Amino acid sequence: MSAVLDRPLAPAASPAPAPVPIPRRPRVRLGSSLVHGAVALWLAATLGPYLVMLLTSLTSERELLTPGVNPIPETFTLDAYVELFRTTQFLSYLGNSVFTAFGTVAFSLLVAMASAICLSRFRFRGRTSMLTALLIAQLFPAVLLVIPLQAELRTVGLLDSRWGLILVYSTFATPFATFLLKNFLDGLPLELDEAASIDGCSPWQMVRHVLLPLMRPGLTAAGTYIFIFAWNELLYALTFTSTPAAQTIPVGLQLFIGEYQIRWDLLTAGGVLAAIPVLAGFMVVQRQLISGLTAGAVKG
């Protein structure tokens, strides 16, 4: 299947079985140990801060109050996590984030899939305008829309509501999810549709029984992208929510930073818990997601 998102980023092995050993692609090569050293350095600079956060979250409050810098705790403890759940609203934030992120994934994926099928399978007047509109929709400054959106949500009673966030997030996640899915669909041969239609499939059956099963990898990548977007979003959540009934983890962390300025064990514990779902999700589908991200810019 020549699906776009399945295309591995690494230069793929030539599909034809090679009868003779192919000479290694000549390329400009740095010394091997130099390359490994540079990559290790890069990864250390990238991942080191996460490790520091994890270690701090496992340090006791008392040890953190002693002066001096010592990133590795003498004794490891989960006290900060226990306290986080017992004495703060963290569990509410977590619940809201889960609800909002999954709600956005479900809603936005549905909307984006419909648009993607349309843009990939139909030719109609205004198609190019729609593609350009999708492009522009994702470039709007958030600060420009945040003020009127707040007024709008207040009018319809969706301020300080997880449903309000889901609607707004879906709007801003949909354009890119649509591009991802459209690129994916463009890689599925039109002959499939035709065969299905000859076999007597209604358009809906064709979507349900032919396109949907084949789109699984594309839907996974787009869904993960939407999840990351919704899970991480700060500005709208900060502005549109005001109580633990709707506040998400980014808002909670932002409040914690103001409130528990010296309790780094608590802050970092919250940080670790905020990071786990997105980073785990990202690592699982990073291959598809990264090739989806790069597909558009690379091919013309």
Partner 1 sequence: MTAGPLTALPRREQLPAGRAARRAPRRRVNLMPLVYLAPSLALFAAFIVFPFLRAIWFSFNETSFLGGIIGFTGIENYQAILSDPHFVNALRNSAAWTFGAVGLQLVLGTAGAFLLNQRFALRGLARGLAMVPWATPSVLVALIWLWMLDPNRGIVNGVLVGLGILDKPVAFLSTSETAMPTLIAIDAWQGIPFFAVMILAALQSVPQELKDSARTDGCGPMGVFRNVVVPHILPTVLITLVLRLIWTANYIDLAYVLTGGGPARATTTLPLLSYLTAYKGGDFGQGAAYAMVQAAILSVLVVMYIRLTRDRSA
Looking at residues 260 to 299 of the shown chain, list those that interact with partner 1 (rule: CB under 8 A). Answer: 264, 267-268, 270-271, 274-275, 278-279, 281-283, 286-287, 290-299
183 binds partner 1 (CB under 8 A): yes
Encoding tokens for residue 96?
């809201």
**Segment interacting with partner 1 (CB under 8 A) among 35-43, 79-87, 88-96, 212-220:** 35-43
Supply the minimum distance, in Å, between the C-beta of residue 89 and partner 1.
Answer: 15
Residue at 23: amino acid letter: P
- Which positions ≥6 away from 57 have C-beta within 8 Å? 80, 81, 265, 268, 269, 271, 272
106 binds partner 1 (CB under 8 A): no
247 binds partner 1 (CB under 8 A): no
Phi then psi dihedrals of residue 274, to 5 deg: -70, -30
Looking at residues 123 to 182 of the shown chain, list those that interact with partner 1 (rule: CB under 8 A). Answer: 123-124, 127-128, 130-152, 154, 167-168, 170-172, 174-176, 178-180, 182
| 3-state DSSP assignment of residue 215 | coil
Supply the minimum distance, in Å, between the C-beta of residue 59 and partner 1.
Answer: 10
Looking at residues 214 to 233 of the shown chain, list those that interact with partner 1 (rule: CB under 8 A). Answer: 225, 228-229, 231-233
Supply the minimum distance, in Å, between the C-beta of residue 216 and partner 1.
Answer: 18
- Which positions ≥6 away from 260 have C-beta within 8 Å? 266, 267
Q: How far apart are CA 132 and CA 139, in angstroms?
A: 11
Contact between 188 and 3 (Cβ < 8 Å): yes
192 binds partner 1 (CB under 8 A): no
DSSP state of 23: P
203 binds partner 1 (CB under 8 A): yes
Residue at 104: amino acid letter: T
In the complex with partner 1, the residue whose CB is nearer, 142 or 245, is 142
In the complex with partner 1, the residue whose CB is nearer, 98 or 275, is 275
By rule CB under 8 A, what string of x and - marks binding of each residue 42-61 to partner 1? xx-xxx-xx-xx--x-----
Contact between 99 and 252 (Cβ < 8 Å): no
In the complex with partner 1, the residue whose CB is nearer, 77 or 232, is 232
In the complex with partner 1, the residue whose CB is nearer, 110 or 245, is 110
Supply the minimum distance, in Å, between the C-beta of residue 13 and partner 1.
Answer: 13
10 binds partner 1 (CB under 8 A): yes
Q: H or E stretch including 265?
A: helix 264-298
Q: How far apart are CA 224 and CA 104, in angstroms?
A: 11
DSSP state of 207: I
250 binds partner 1 (CB under 8 A): yes
Q: How far apart are CA 116 and CA 121, in angstroms?
A: 8
Supply the minimum distance, in Å, between the C-beta of residue 97 and partner 1.
Answer: 10
Contact between 235 and 146 (Cβ < 8 Å): yes
